[in-house]
Amino acid sequence: MKKKGIKVIDLFAGVGGLSLGFKAAGYDVVGAIDIDADCKKTYNLNYPNVNYICEDIRKLNTKDILKTFNVKKVDLIIGGPPCKGFSTIGARSSSKIEIRKKFDERNYLFKDFVRVVNEIKPRVVLFENVSGFMSFNKGKVFELVKSSFQDIGYEIESYLLDAVNFGVPQFRKRVFIVARKKNISEIGPPKKLSTKVKLKQMQTVKEAISDLAGKEKQISNHEPLNHGEKNIRRYKLIPEGGRLPEDKLSPDIYRRNFGNTFKRLDRKAPSLTMVPGHNAFPIHPWLNRSLTVREAARIQTFPDNFIFTGNRQSQCLQVGNAVPVNLAAAWAFHLKRFLI
């Protein structure tokens, strides 16, 4: 007998932060799609009963997608095309104009997202991306995405939300586009994470990771980087909640362009946005090392039984690119009353 419930497909799924949030709200996630082989391994390990297509979405035929996922109808499509080209952290914020203006074909993968939506025709779509997506190319791409959904018969709503307001101990602004069939009333944004969800809600870094200190290598994905002596000396100079005081560095530990990985988190506050750089996350509030993959995953509200595979760089990217589980669950519970 086929499982009943609100059927969901997760596009550009990564390791499934959105999937986990929607599963927590009782949805039937029937399949996921992403091109990243390491993400597929992680997803399959944690969701062994969900089909995952590891392929370039531009090459996929919708009939084959539905056949692989063993469904004829889908109620909801969720996901967000890669955000690297839209992010304000990285190439877009480079001081070199040629890097900022360089064409990034990932910026236009939304066209295949819209194509799949048009061919499957779900009742509702939840499209997620970084806040920089709204201003990229003077807002023209953002408007193009919205008009693309309108052209295939959907009403559009868009919202800028910060994960910190949904039980996530992290400042992380994301834009969401909600596309709905015309017979569905205005949905609006979620206001908070439902108390019905069985996910831990947190406000500070201390709540999220304090119990992990001293348990390094005892929990999956909780292995600290082996920092060099120079970096440890630098870390010792970073105050809690602050960044490296470059003007106070001795010549032997000075260098140019210290990035996000040389900021120390404040245990009493939410975290900075989890963005991996050179295999490392920001500095632990009171230990002289960067966060482990598990600590970053906690801040992204992944449970400890969610295991990340691949090498450390891949694990960092998997965690840093994910939608926080609690934010996904907030949307899932909010959308449910429009889909039942």
Is 49 part of any domain?
A: yes
The whole-number pLDDT of residue 90 equals 46
How far apart are alpha carbons 336 and 188 in whole angstroms?
A: 12
**Burial track 210-237 (b if 16+ CB lie within 10 A, e otherwise):** eebeeeeeeeebbeebeeeeebeebbeb
Is 40 part of any domain?
A: yes
The 10s digit of each residue's pLDDT in 76-116 is: 999 998 855 544 444 444 444 444 444 455 567 999 999 99
Look up 83 and say whether it is catalytic: yes
Average pLDDT over residues 311-329: 95
What is the residue range of 100's domain?
A: 7-200+324-339
Intra-chain end-to-end CA distance of the chain, in Å: 20
Element (DSSP H or E) covering residue 7: strand 7-11
Q: Taking a C-beta distance cutoff of 8 angstroms, is the pair 176, 183 a contact?
A: no
156 and 290 belong to one structural domain: no
Average pLDDT over residues 31-41: 97
175 and 90 belong to one structural domain: yes
How many domains does the structure of the chain reveal? 2
Mean pLDDT score of the chain, rounded to an integer?
Answer: 91
293 and 331 belong to one structural domain: no
* Active-site annotation holder among 39, 54, 83, 316: 83
98 and 212 belong to one structural domain: no
Is 256 part of any domain?
A: yes
Is 310 part of any domain?
A: no
Token pair in block for residue 105: 């074909």
Instruction: Give me the amino acid identity at 258.
Output: F
258 and 272 belong to one structural domain: yes
222 and 274 belong to one structural domain: yes
